Amino acid sequence: MELELESRLLDAPAPVPDGVQDLTEAFEPHARDPLAGALPVPPVVPPLPPAAPRTEPVLDVPAAAVAADDDAGADADDDLTPAPSFVRQAQRRARWNQPWLRALVGLLCVLLPLALALQYVVYQRNPLAAQNPALRPALSALCAALGCTIAAPQNIGMVVVAGSAFNQETAPGRYRLGLSVRNQASSIVATPALELTLTDASDQPLVRKIFLPAELGMPPELGPRAEWNGTLPMQVQALPQPISGYRMELFYP
């Protein structure tokens, strides 16, 4: 009897004090509702109809075109592939053995030395004409065609004043210049100009005058070992001091 009473006391819920809410229902709703807390059932979705099979478009390409594309691809591959060295050497020899190319190379081998020789002759025409007088007619004809001129080379170191004189004549202010110019070279040289300076007793210049070859009556060229002699009358204006001496100098203007 006592055991049965104790079991009932254990099974009975404990009394809730006044002022305290009974939260048993909040935490254990399933104790009274067996469907409470059950998961929602998802809606049933009907299955999709099977998709139709997909067909790819087929291009009708002729077999000849396909073969041509294959040949073009093969040629491109051949072009990208370097040829062996002996093949390249054979190709180079074949190119150089062409008749028109060999003729062109032979023509250039002849023309280039001739052009170089012509350039040398034109550049050295004056010394060649001076050292070889027999070439002067041919060089003159060449210059007539090319628009150049032939002049004697200038060599002032080989032209000297061999003798000179400056004398006063009877008339006041009248003088006569005597001059002898010699070419010491073994070839033709151009005739230089003459600078005449009159000096006083202190060797100070009083007046200076330049004479070109034509004014002295000299030829434009002096032959090998040639000598020219001439005189020139001069009129000298009144000077602050009397003339006591003179100096001469040859030069190319």
Q: Evaluate if residue 169 carries a pLDDT over 50.
A: yes
H helices of 184-252, in order, are 213-216
pLDDT exceeds 80 at position 65: no
Task: Count the neighbouring beta carbons within 10 Å of the beta carbon of residue 139.
Answer: 19
Does residue 230 contact residue 217 with C-beta atoms inside 8 Å?
Answer: yes
Length of the chain equals 253
Question: What pLDDT, in 10s, does the model give residues 16-59?
Answer: 555 545 545 544 444 455 544 455 555 665 666 665 566 555 55
Q: Which of 75-84, 121-130, 227-236 shows the lowest mean pLDDT across its residues?
A: 75-84
**Confidence at residue 159, expressed as pLDDT on a 0 to 100 scale:** 95
Other beta carbons within 10 angstroms of residue 177's beta carbon come to 20
Percent of the chain with pLDDT over 90: 24
H or E stretch including 63? helix 63-80
- Tokens of residue 52, six digits: 């139709």
H or E element: which one contains 162?
strand 159-168
How far is the CA of 182 from the CAs of 71, 129, 219, 229, in angstroms? 90, 20, 12, 9
Q: What is the pLDDT of residue 93?
A: 72
pLDDT of 9 reads 47
Alpha helices in 179-239 (DSSP H): 213-216
Residues with Cβ within 8 Å of 252's Cβ and at least 6 positions away in sequence, in order, are 154, 156, 190, 192, 193
Q: Which residue has the higher pLDDT, 19 or 152?
A: 152
In this predicted structure, which of 26-40, 89-103, 127-141, 157-171 has the lowest mean pLDDT? 26-40
Q: What would the mean pLDDT of 112-136 be, rounded to a whole number?
A: 87
Chain center to CA of 117: 28
Angle in degrees, CA 210, 224, 162, rounded to 5? 45
pLDDT over 90 at 61, yes or no? no
Range ranked top by mean pLDDT from 17-26, 48-57, 97-106, 240-249 = 240-249
Per the prediction, the chain carries an average pLDDT of 77
Q: What pLDDT band is residue 100 in, cutting at 50, 70 and 90?
A: confident
77 or 213: which carries more pLDDT confidence? 213
Range in 33-37, 183-187, 229-233 the model is least confident about: 33-37
Mean pLDDT of 74-100: 68
Encode burial over 140-166: b for 16+ CB neighbours within 10 A, e otherwise. Answer: eebeeeeeeebebbebeebbeeeeeeb
Q: What is the distance between the alpha carbons of residues 215 and 213, in angstroms, rounded to a whole number?
A: 5
